[in-house]
Structure 1
Amino acid sequence: MPRVIFCYISAIDAMNRFIGRIAMYLIFVLIGVLLWSSASKVLLTPSMWTLETAQFVMVGYFVLGGPYSIQLGSNVRMDLFYGDWSPRTKAWVDAFTVCFLLFYLGVLLYGGLVSTAYSLGYFGDEPFDFFLSLVGTFLTEGPSAAGEALGFLERSPTAWRPWLWPVKSLICLGVFLMILQSLAEFFRDIGRLRGVID
């Protein structure tokens, strides 16, 4: 296998391990938000922001921890036969089934990008052109010009009405990291089949 593949696997593993180890502490943020929600309902006026904030924190916890979970092999699997197979058979099956995972994650990323573009006020049919022009405007004319290129920012329909683009962008980032980690797992399985990775 080319050295660049080994470098890719190491770099993606290190990045997703770092992000996943930080993301796992979001569970304490979630606990704090829910504790405040319970306390404010009993002792004070109930806060409008707590349940939606808890949902947003849970999204971050889930999607940023997903690539690390894939890396550790702790994702949920149907293990009727898999556990009894040899490492080589597992590598064959994993190398084949990761193609389905990559297809699913690609469709999910596309949908996330379309939804994020919508939340930034783009209602057309070409979200990639929108993002490219937005980045181009930001780099050439600055942040204020890029801000003017945005449309009506989508808000949640709840009483608190937070903007939705941050959580939708976080979902896109998490899915993109899962794609990178899945590719690293694919290359690792190919290395196992060729006998260059244990």
Structure 2
Amino acid sequence: MVKYDVNDSSFDHKHGVLINKLGIKDPEELQSREKDRLVNAYKKAAEKYSENHAFSEKDVCDIHKLFLGDLYEWAGEYRTVDLSSENIRFCHAAYINNHMKDFSIELEALTPFTEDLNKEQILGRLGKIHGELIIIHPFRDGNGRFTRLLCDLLLMQANYLPMAVSEFYNTVFLKKYHEAIQEVWRAVDYSKLISLFDPLVSR
């Protein structure tokens, strides 16, 4: 779980929730609202982005705002606090802008996904995009869900099914997933992540 700093002005430590536009104090209610927003974001994003759309840094911000904009003022804006999770120190907030500009160049070069790409090529691109976004962790919250949303949009471009989201709540899978992300962080190695995604990607 992402750790919150005691001086984090975006977090309500008394109630254990991020400060939100709706004034929700109950963690379970807020989680439910976020889940509803995610479902809605899938629908809107699928309608908005065409099968031949090359994604960019702007799209990354726009999709995150589409997901959480109704709940948080900072949705679609890069975080200003440092975060850590599962023995990983994500990109320092001060360096996010520069890292995202570099990532945007890669993202535009790797997209759109097309039907003529074979599964190995799909997995290679997916692993790199997913791994880099998670390591940068550009937003205050919702990075994992947003990244899966973006990757599912890319899979749909190539006429693949979205990845099975249930796996990301499986304890065994999560342990392997965190290890794979650590390899991206430590050695810029996407192979474990690609192997983990292989059985989740199908037409």
TM above 0.5: no
Q: TM-score, normalised by structure 2?
A: 0.26
Q: TM-score, normalised by structure 1?
A: 0.27
Larger Rg: 1
Instruction: Point out which structure has higher relative CO (alpha carbons under 8 A, 6+ apart).
Output: 1
